[in-house]
Amino acid sequence: MPGFRRKITKHFGDSLTPSKPYLSYHDILLTSDDIVSLKYDWLTDNNIAFWEEWLEREVLPKYPRAHIVLLRPSITFLLMQAIDLKSIGSALPDFRKTTHIFLPVNDSRDRERADGGSHWSLLVVSVIDRVAFHYDSLGGANFYEAQKCTERLGRVLGLSLRFHQMEDSPQQGNNSDCGVYVCIVMRHLLIKRLLNANSNEKVSMSMANKVIDSSGGRKEMMQIIESLRKEGERRRSLSPMSTSSKSGSSKTPPRIE
């Protein structure tokens, strides 16, 4: 989603700008706090936004005919909290050719805090079928939020969307893995169900019997981040603009763009 950071800053201001940069990956800036959360705690907006950015940059280009949108957590929050939906049009992508939309849903009800809330779930909207599938790893904890998100997105699309709570969604075993479940389920549905689907067959969106390895998921995401960080360091070392100043380099994170 080109220009994502510019668009979201327009609506939320500079308060979202992190202070301890760790990796700059296209439109996403991960911080050291994000890394700590990814390793041990509840995933941040940035963690999930990075995962979506990575899927967009590394996976979706292999399927040029796909018209799938991965909305960032802050955009989903904006969609759910905006008083006037017309006022956020500039922050939303062009949905005219879109077949499916993935939305990370958070239970924050505070309009002033895009990073609030305590639970993540995943909403997948099939625009072509006019159905919204909700995957919640904590029973129906985000049922209200997901229904609200579905209704508001339907208004933006000009469609009446049927809401379907996926009762077979894998369930987390603790209080901190909801974001990891969102990321793993997102990738599974994106790649295994949608991108590799046979055009002659009806795609099942069920997650029945799918086992989620949250610990392995965290490690894999960290491995991806560390690999990109090393590549960013390598590119910086080869750049004629690179500096030998340790203080300067410490303030500038490795960058991939």
CB burial of residue 69 (10 Å; 0-12, 13-18, 19+): buried
Residue 181 phi/psi, 5-degree rounding, is -60, -40
In degrees, rounded to 5, the angle at the alpha carbon of residue 153 between the alpha carbons of residues 152 and 158 is: 100
Single-letter amino acid, residue 120: W
Contacts 24+ apart (CB under 8 A), 143-148: 145/80, 145/105, 145/106, 145/107, 145/121, 146/105, 146/121, 148/80
Catalytic residues: 119, 136, 178
DSSP character at residue 114: T
In the chain, alpha helices (H): 4-12, 32-40, 45-58, 73-81, 143-157, 178-187, 214-238, 246-251
Q: What is the distance between the alpha carbons of residues 50 and 197, in angstroms, rounded to a whole number?
A: 25
Return d(Cα 199, Cα 4) in angstroms, integer.
31
